[in-house]
């Protein structure tokens, strides 16, 4: 409404500055103060009605044109009738001719003005609404794509873990059946937690507890060649992480790091602490030979999954790899803002 009135005032000022005919200026003023509020109200009500009825854009446009035409025609006829009694109100194009011609031309003037201001109303009201609607739909589509991709990553990740774990237990079935049975019970506990845990997020202490049971299976499978160390700060245990985020990092540290040592003294350390700026830092470190080509391990599915999940679920977070001949560190950092993003993403 304010935009349309502003344009009308500019037109009125232009007519005054250009010394246009008095009748034209009076006609614009009459339109502004009498017809315009009613026209804007009618168009807005019709727009809301069309949205509720889920009308197509074409039908909504025709409804708006019809309303503007009706209002403009009625106003033009009323103005023409007034001009018959007060000749000074006659527009230049309607100054001559019969009374019917004067009224008809005034009606045409009213219709044209109403259509023009209908167009301005559409630009001021409908266009921003349409742009905002398109933006919201794009965000919804993007969120849907992200959720779908997260589900796909998890669907790949959990069978991936299950397969590797079963392979680890299979190596114990013949030589140490009692230990294999114990580990199967441990695996059952892991799978029960994975199935029952439906939330997208879990606290760090729950994730570490799950990883400890997973580590028991790996240590039993590679007895004497693999050990785990745990150092999780107490104040970090309640922090939220995407579910099973650290498991691929642990698996990569074992398979591509600790077990690559020739002296069977592989070690994997899982640490978590809070930096001075409040950032949560989770580190999975191995004492393997390092990565001569960082792209080799970066191409592993587990790391790709972690990177992509961070991009989708906590864009403010980051994952980096630090490698040397003494080992490799996978570092996940979640600033305060990333934790806030995760809180907002909870259903």
DSSP string, 83-105: HHH-GGG--GGGSSS-HHHHHHH
Q: What is the pLDDT of residues 29-49, one digit of tens each?
A: 666 667 777 777 788 788 778
Q: What's the CA gap between 201 and 222, in Å, rounded?
A: 31
For residues 77 and 103, the answer to whether their CB atoms sit within 8 Å is: yes
Spatial CB neighbours of 315, under 8 Å, sequence gap ≥ 6: 338, 341
Q: Same domain for 71 and 176?
A: no
* β-bridge pairing 327-334 and 318-324: antiparallel
Q: Is residue 163 part of a domain?
A: no
Angle (CA) 330-336-338 rounded to 5° is 65
Q: Same domain for 287 and 331?
A: yes
Q: What's the CA gap between 76 and 342, in Å, rounded?
A: 60
Q: Is residue 107 part of a domain?
A: yes
Q: Same domain for 129 and 249?
A: no
Q: Is residue 81 part of a domain?
A: yes
Q: Same domain for 103 and 220?
A: no
Q: Is residue 302 part of a domain?
A: yes
The whole-number average pLDDT for the span 143-157 is: 52
At residue 19 the predicted structure's pLDDT band, cuts being 50, 70 and 90, is very low
Q: Name the residue among 157, 125, 164 with its Cα closest to residue 304.
A: 157
Q: Same domain for 339 and 202?
A: yes
Q: Same domain for 175 and 134?
A: no
Q: Is residue 58 part of a domain?
A: yes
Q: Same domain for 200 and 61?
A: no
Look up the CATH number of the domain holding residue 231.
3.30.565.10
Tokens of 190: 């892991």
Q: Is residue 150 part of a domain?
A: no
Q: Same domain for 192 and 326?
A: yes
Q: Is residue 210 part of a domain?
A: yes
Q: Is residue 288 part of a domain?
A: yes
- For the cut 70, the answer to whether the pLDDT of residue 201 exceeds it is yes
Find the domain containing 18 and state its range.
2-138
The larger pLDDT score, comparing residue 4 to residue 136, is at: 136
The larger pLDDT score, comparing residue 34 to residue 72, is at: 72
Radius of gyration of the chain (CA): 36
Q: What is the pLDDT of residues 203-225, one digit of tens each?
A: 999 899 989 988 988 888 788 89
Place of tokens 């500019």: 10
pTM for the full model?
0.53
3-state class percentages of the chain: helix first, strand second, coil last, to nearest 5: 70, 15, 20
Number of domains in the chain: 2
For residues 91 and 138, the answer to whether their CB atoms sit within 8 Å is: no
Under DSSP, is residue 332 helix (H, G, I), strand (E, B) or coil?
Answer: strand
Q: Same domain for 98 and 197?
A: no
pLDDT at residue number 225: 92
Phi/psi at 224 (5° precision): 90, -15
Domain boundary among 138, 160, 180: 138
Q: Same domain for 176 and 128?
A: no
Sign of CA dihedral 120, 124, 125, 130: positive
Tell me which of 145-149, 162-166, 196-200, 295-299 is least confident: 295-299
Phi/psi at 103 (5° precision): -65, -40
Q: Same domain for 212 and 305?
A: yes
Q: Same domain for 214 and 341?
A: yes
């Amino acid at each position: 409404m304010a935009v349309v009135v502003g344009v009308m005032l500019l037109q009125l000022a232009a007519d005054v500055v250009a010394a246009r005919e008095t009748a034209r200026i009076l006609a614009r003023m009459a339109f502004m103060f009498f017809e315009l509020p009613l026209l804007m109200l009618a168009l807005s009500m019709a727009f809301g009605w069309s949205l509720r009825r889920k009308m197509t854009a074409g039908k909504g446009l025709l409804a708006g044109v019809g309303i503007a035409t009706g209002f403009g025609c009625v106003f033009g006829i009323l103005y023409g009738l007034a001009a018959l009694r007060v000749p000074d109100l006659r527009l230049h194009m309607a100054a001559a001719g019969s009374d019917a011609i004067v009224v008809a031309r005034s009606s045409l003037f009213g219709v044209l003005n109403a259509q023009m201001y209908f167009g301005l109303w559409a630009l001021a009201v409908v266009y921003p609404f349409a742009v905002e609607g398109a933006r919201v739909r794009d965000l919804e589509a993007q969120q849907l794509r992200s959720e779908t991709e997260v589900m796909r990553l998890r669907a790949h990740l959990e069978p991936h873990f299950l397969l590797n774990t079963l392979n680890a237990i299979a190596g114990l079935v013949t030589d140490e059946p009692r230990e294999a049975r114990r580990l199967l019970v441990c695996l059952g506990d892991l799978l029960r937690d994975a199935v029952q845990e439906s939330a997208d997020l879990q606290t760090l202490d729950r994730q570490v507890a799950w990883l400890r049971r997973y580590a028991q299976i790996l240590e039993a499978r590679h007895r004497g060649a693999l050990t785990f160390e745990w150092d999780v700060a107490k104040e970090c245990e309640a922090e939220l992480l995407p579910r099973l985020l650290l498991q691929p990092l642990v698996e990569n540290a074992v398979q591509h790091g600790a077990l690559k040592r020739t002296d069977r003294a592989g070690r994997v350390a899982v640490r978590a602490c809070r930096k001075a700026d409040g950032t949560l830092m989770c580190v999975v470190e191995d004492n393997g030979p390092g990565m001569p080509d960082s792209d080799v391990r970066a191409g592993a599915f587990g790391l790709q999954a972690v990177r992509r999940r961070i991009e989708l679920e906590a864009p403010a977070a980051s994952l980096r790899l630090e490698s040397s001949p003494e080992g490799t560190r996978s570092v996940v950092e979640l600033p305060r803002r990333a934790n806030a993003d995760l809180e907002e993403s909870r259903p």
